[in-house]
């Protein structure tokens, strides 16, 4: 399942990279230099699963890509598109199901503030697909999928040339899971590093 999500993420990244064309970009203030307005990153992730209201956490890895629109009118400056893929499959703690695995892939809108040259807080809203494996008393039911919604906030900090440190918090909404009108709400953090293809002078 992890390889499947990685392939989908890489395909989305290729599509993202081809929007509007591979040309030089005139970035807005706070983004000197030229290059693709694209950043890609990888992170360690740790989430509270909220699976059957059990306590405990699950760890994994996250890949993401952001496409930033630098030539928008001032009112919309800071908007971009984000695609992310996450695989939570190790580091179980507390009462987390020993077979629990959660894979997600999502995309949506991210808004980044550029008030500071090296520090960029952001907020985002994504919609995607979630896959979950679990232990069940029913031998024919140990896997399920859902359309999910993600609200997130965080900040990127440039620490060396084109490398940025990201700290990200997300709250996920998996609707009508197991029981009617019950929403599962995994939430957690990602800590990782991104490479920005806008080259700084």
- Which of the 8 DSSP states describes residue 65? E
Structure confidence at residue 183 (pLDDT): 84
Please tell me whether residue 201 adopts helix, strand or coil conformation. coil
Q: How many CA atoms lie within 13 A of 2 on its CB side?
A: 10
Structure confidence at residue 40 (pLDDT): 98
Structure confidence at residue 166 (pLDDT): 98
Domain 2-14+42-199 has CATH 3.40.50.300: no
pLDDT tens track of the chain, all 201 residues?
Answer: 455 545 555 555 444 444 433 333 334 444 445 678 899 999 999 999 998 777 789 999 999 999 988 777 777 788 999 999 999 999 999 888 889 999 999 999 999 998 888 999 999 999 999 999 998 888 888 999 999 999 999 999 999 999 999 999 999 999 876 666 678 899 999 999 999 998 655
Cα–Cα distance for residue pair 149/79, rounded to 1 Å: 19
CB 35 within 8 A of CB 25: yes
Q: For the chain, give every domain's residue range.
A: 2-14+42-199
């Amino acid at each position: 399942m992890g390889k499947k999500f990685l392939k989908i993420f890489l395909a989305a990244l290729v599509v993202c990279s081809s929007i509007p064309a591979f040309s030089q970009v005139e970035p807005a203030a706070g983004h000197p230099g030229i290059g693709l307005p694209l950043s890609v990153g990888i992170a360690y992730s740790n989430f509270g699963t909220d699976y059957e209201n059990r306590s405990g956490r699950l760890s994994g890895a996250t890949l993401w890509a952001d496409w930033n629109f630098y030539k928008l009118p001032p009112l919309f400056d800071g908007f971009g598109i984000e695609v992310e893929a996450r695989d939570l499959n190790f580091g179980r703690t507390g009462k987390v199901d020993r077979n629990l695995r959660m894979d997600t892939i999502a995309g949506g809108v991210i808004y980044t503030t550029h008030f500071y040259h090296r520090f960029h807080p952001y907020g985002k809203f994504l919609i995607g697909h979630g896959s979950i494996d679990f232990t069940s008393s029913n031998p024919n039911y140990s896997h399920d999928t859902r359309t999910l919604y993600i609200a997130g906030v965080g900040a990127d900090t440039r620490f060396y040339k084109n490398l940025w440190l990201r700290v990200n918090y997300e709250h996920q909404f998996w609707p009508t899971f197991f029981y009617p009108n019950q929403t599962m709400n995994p939430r957690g953090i990602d800590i990782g590093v991104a490479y920005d293809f806008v080259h700084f002078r």
